[in-house]
A and B are shown apart, each in its own frame.
Chain A
Amino acid sequence: MTLGVIMLCHAALDRTAQLARHWAMHGCPVVIHVDARSPQAQFDSLRTALKDLPDIRFTRRLPCEWGTFEIVQATLEAASRMLAEFPQVDRVLLASGSCLPIKPVRALQAHLAAHPDTDFIESVTTADVGWTIGGLNEERFTLRFPFKWKSQRRLFDGYVRLQRFFRLRRRLPPGLVPHLGSQWWCLTRPTLQAILQHPDRARIDRYFKLVWIPDESYFQSLVRQVSNRIESRSLTLSKFDYQGRPYIFYDDHLHLLRQADAFIARKAWPQAQLLYDTFLTPDGDRAHAAAPSPGKINRLFAKAVERRVNGRPGLYMQSRFPIHARRGTQSAAPYGVFSGFGALVPEFKPWLSRALDARVHGHLFAFDRVQFADGETVFKGGLSDSPTLRDYNPRSFLTNLIWNTKGETQCFQFGPEDEQEIAPFIASDPNASIFVVSGAFAIPLWQSGRSAAEVRAEAARLQKVESDFIDLLKGPETKARTRIWSLTEFIENPAEPLEQLADLLNPRAAHRTGELPLLVDLHGFGSFLQDLRNQGMAPVLMGDFPSDADLALPSPPFARPRVVR
């Protein structure tokens, strides 16, 4: 069995020479096509460098712009040259000038010998292919593409739109079923012969001249007509990014390439000296990996695509800044926002911290100071407790806080007495869970001991701010999970809200809510509210707060029987 290699080259011709020599040293005749756009001087030095090798041929140089038929034309010419001049060749491999053999050539030859009459070519029907490049999939075959995608982009796009508008469709040559696949194949002599001497070849070539990226479909489609044993996978490891550009392998990929199950890797960076030195020894790479694990390579590349396309949610930084329309307002992890609980339940923060296994901050958006948990002045990641610094860019402050503490749920208190600018952001964030006991802002005012007349204006202001906040939470833009209780609802049955929020934020730790914290003693608050009413304010957010006489609570703090889970 003799393997012949067709090489399509356009740049880094010194590496081409090295590769061609490597193939030739292993008894593989090589036919080289060099892009007509490469400088003549480089081409000449390539020829000189390979002068001593008898089984190397150069074909007519065509200009091969990406996505055009010239690449197929060059391949066809090289293939007929190969078959005509090297009668001993019975398998032909198509490679590029940067395709590096990563297994010994002998191993490739043995693999081919073990699979006689098999064509290794990726060939998939258009319906089954995931990749659509430039928004085109099946239309690559049904529209006409006379313009070049790279250099005539406007004409290209315009002509596509025009054809779509008039619903122009091409008729396919009879018997042709469009298939797509990697450009790099390895075919048997009879298959290649049958394609070259296809009775309908002239018509097929005419058709493919106006197909987009025919090098990924010409052989892939025709082989279905002429071959009877197709192994639809390429022997060449070739990975593409989400825009269809091939990835490049560098020196630090050596270990990875050793784990590949393919025989050839595309593309190796021309300056990756270590890769060329390692793989282009007479015996190929000597250090064998324990076992090929192509899954690892696939995962690595899938992760890169994921990072480029979706990024890390909740991260805002110098190279990720989603625009408004792209669900821009999202944080890295779920967090809880609590309004009013601190005033009602003196031991709320330690209780919450125990119940949720979370970091519980005070009022992060207080006017005087950022109240980090445990009174820290500089929090994780270097966040300062300066309110000025926070208010300069509150959204960055919050997203940074959540990003810096990934792996630990964050909770903070937020009330009408705080800076409100962040409110719309929290409300629109699906990661936020917001729990409000409305009207609780009046408790500290009542506790302050000042008279209703003194605090009336302040109470009215806070009520206005809080009712705006609640309106916001009820608005259409809100994506956060919200629960709102009025003060009255809360003191009627405090256990339920507390259990609900613990369940919502940390479902697995529900059993920890076992003991519930004590409520503040509200005797006298009812008359304080009445005093406020008498002063001309209408305290509405508290609900229908019972008069002191009716207030049975909080002596037995939680009357409801606890269910043991």
Chain B
Amino acid sequence: MGSPAEKRSFPRGLAHACPIGTLDPPVGGLTGAVLALKLRTRRQLLLLRAWRKRDELASVQDYTRQIAPDDVLCFLCVRNEADRLPHFLRHHRALGVRHFLAVDNGSTDGTAELLLGQSDVSLWSTKASYKASRFGMDWLTWLMIRHGSGHWCLTLDADELLIYPYWKTRPLAALTGWLEGQGRDSFGALTVDMYPEVAVSEGQVGPDDDPIRHLGWFDAGNYQTQVQPRMRNLWVQGGARARAFFADAPRRAPTLNKTPLVRWHWRYAYVNSTHTLLPGRLNEVYATDGGELTSGVILHTKFLPGIAARSAEEKVRGEHFGNAAQYVAYYDRLTGNPMLHTLASNRYTGWRQMEALGLMSRGGWI
């Protein structure tokens, strides 16, 4: 959420964020070199952090020997997601994820037991602070250093379902092969908040149900796009949450662009959830020449019926945002069982619809 890059204002005069039509090519020359050096240091510090947090992780189930050289891996950090994980695993297995590397952050609802039963899941557990671990990213970075290098790695939350062009007929290996052929090492996806036709706490969805049947609606055309020139990363906000909860403070609205799929190298590091990563070239998942690159959508299943209780709990824990106090109102609104559906909402019918609406693109992929 928001952006941490503001405090370090180098180079001076570089806009914090560039709206449509104002982005210039990357800074070059000496300034560019100094900027690159600063970002390099930042990346190294992130790796160091991950290394120092490695002891917080206790291995519970380690099947990582099964990982074959070309496997697509999925990294996730979970807490009390037993209701979502069965479908999450099923969806991404069907896409061709060969191994899941999960960190369980003190679940009490049987999440760990659920994961222990799976032969393609390696599990670590920790009771340490989620917030102090950069919202789980330090732990995942460590696991990625250990196991991710050389693989295409998918980093997701349990309430995120990745879809991409042709996902029903082509596995992830086809996508990653295409990306490699294009010389790309990263793949961008827009988080789309899915919500029900009724108030968010109504209805019932079982752990094995497809949550998208219940969460069948989304906002199609209210996404605000900017690019932050320092790391050349996108900063997309908007969607249902911005409309319903952040109309008074749009800057604080959740960041929706993610780069969840990366051909990993142990030197890489996610900076801000999976929104931004270093080295910065991996953030350029968009075309600047007017064309379109291939991109996907993350269907966000946050608004399942349990959301109200969960928000009440998270507000108390205060583990979720950099400045949790600012988000008290947001949690209160969520706890109050809001209605997100409006007459302007769109019903989800598939990736081709998402593409036609301009939320994702096939790019040049046929």
A: residues with CB less than 8 A from B are: 239, 241-243, 245, 247-248, 250-253, 269, 271, 300-301, 304-305, 307-312, 315-329, 376, 378-384, 386, 388-389, 392-393, 395-397, 399-401, 403-404, 425, 428
In Å, the complex CA distance between A117 and B365 comes to: 38
| Max chain B Cβ within 10 angstroms of own Cβ: one of A317, A329, A401 | A317
In Å, the complex CA distance between A401 and B20 comes to: 14
Among all A-B residue pairs, the 5 with the closest Cβ atoms: A381-B221, A382-B219, A308-B364, A319-B295, A328-B21
In Å, the complex CA distance between A319 and B246 comes to: 25
List residues of chain B with CB within 8 A of the CB of A328.
20-23
In Å, the complex CA distance between A307 and B366 comes to: 11
B189 interface contact, C-beta 8 A: yes
Partner of A382, one of B222, B249, B287, B295: B222
In Å, the complex CA distance between A315 and B189 comes to: 16
11 A-B pairs in the complex with CB atoms less than 8 angstroms apart: A248-B174, A308-B363, A317-B359, A318-B285, A318-B360, A319-B295, A324-B24, A328-B20, A378-B342, A382-B342, A388-B248
B: residues with CB less than 8 A from A are: 19-25, 166, 169-171, 173-174, 177-178, 181-182, 188-190, 219-227, 234, 236-240, 242-243, 246-251, 257, 285-295, 342-346, 358-366
In Å, the complex CA distance between A329 and B346 comes to: 27
Total CB contacts across the A-B interface at under 8 A: 212
**Is A395 in contact with B342, judged by CB distance below 8 angstroms?**
no
A319 to chain B: closest CB distance in Å?
4
In Å, the complex CA distance between A428 and B20 comes to: 12
In Å, the complex CA distance between A242 and B188 comes to: 21
In Å, the complex CA distance between A308 and B257 comes to: 20
**Is B343 in contact with A317, judged by CB distance below 8 angstroms?**
no
List residues of chain B with CB within 8 A of the CB of A403.
221, 358
In Å, the complex CA distance between A386 and B257 comes to: 22
List residues of chain B with CB within 8 A of the CB of A250.
166, 169-170, 174
In Å, the complex CA distance between A379 and B171 comes to: 37
List residues of chain B with CB within 8 A of the CB of A247.
366
In Å, the complex CA distance between A250 and B343 comes to: 39
List residues of chain A with CB within 8 A of the CB of B243.
378, 382, 384, 386, 389
Do A386 and B247 contact each other (CB < 8 Å), given the known contacts A247-B366, A304-B362, A318-B189? yes
**Is B286 in contact with A320, judged by CB distance below 8 angstroms?**
yes
B281 to chain A: closest CB distance in Å?
15
**Is B291 in contact with A395, judged by CB distance below 8 angstroms?**
no
A149 to chain B: closest CB distance in Å?
13
Partner of B234, one of A253, A321, A382, A388: A321
**Is B364 in contact with A305, judged by CB distance below 8 angstroms?**
yes
Closest B residue to A425 by beta carbon equals B21
**Is B290 in contact with A392, judged by CB distance below 8 angstroms?**
no
B55 to chain A: closest CB distance in Å?
37
| Max chain B Cβ within 10 angstroms of own Cβ: one of A308, A309, A403 | A308
**Is A395 in contact with B240, judged by CB distance below 8 angstroms?**
no
**Is A319 in contact with B169, judged by CB distance below 8 angstroms?**
no
**Is A252 in contact with B181, judged by CB distance below 8 angstroms?**
no
**Is B221 in contact with A404, judged by CB distance below 8 angstroms?**
yes
In Å, the complex CA distance between A404 and B223 comes to: 11
B203 to chain A: closest CB distance in Å?
21
In Å, the complex CA distance between A29 and B320 comes to: 66
Closest B residue to A315 by beta carbon equals B358
In Å, the complex CA distance between A305 and B361 comes to: 13
List residues of chain B with CB within 8 A of the CB of A397.
224
Do A312 and B292 contact each other (CB < 8 Å), given the known contacts A247-B366, A396-B20? yes
Closest A residue to B259 by beta carbon equals A318
Partner of A320, one of B170, B182, B290: B290
**Is B365 in contact with A384, judged by CB distance below 8 angstroms?**
no
Partner of A392, one of B177, B220, B250: B250
In Å, the complex CA distance between A321 and B289 comes to: 8
**Is A323 in contact with B288, judged by CB distance below 8 angstroms?**
yes
Do A382 and B364 contact each other (CB < 8 Å), given the known contacts A321-B225, A322-B288, A399-B20? no
| Max chain A Cβ within 10 angstroms of own Cβ: one of B20, B25, B345 | B20
Do A316 and B23 contact each other (CB < 8 Å), given the known contacts A308-B364, A392-B251? no
List residues of chain B with CB within 8 A of the CB of A253.
366
Partner of B257, one of A269, A309, A318, A388: A318
With contacts A304-B366, A319-B293, A395-B21 known, what are 15 further pairs, Cβ within 8 A? A307-B362, A312-B292, A317-B295, A319-B188, A319-B294, A319-B360, A321-B287, A328-B23, A378-B243, A378-B343, A389-B246, A392-B224, A400-B222, A400-B223, A425-B21
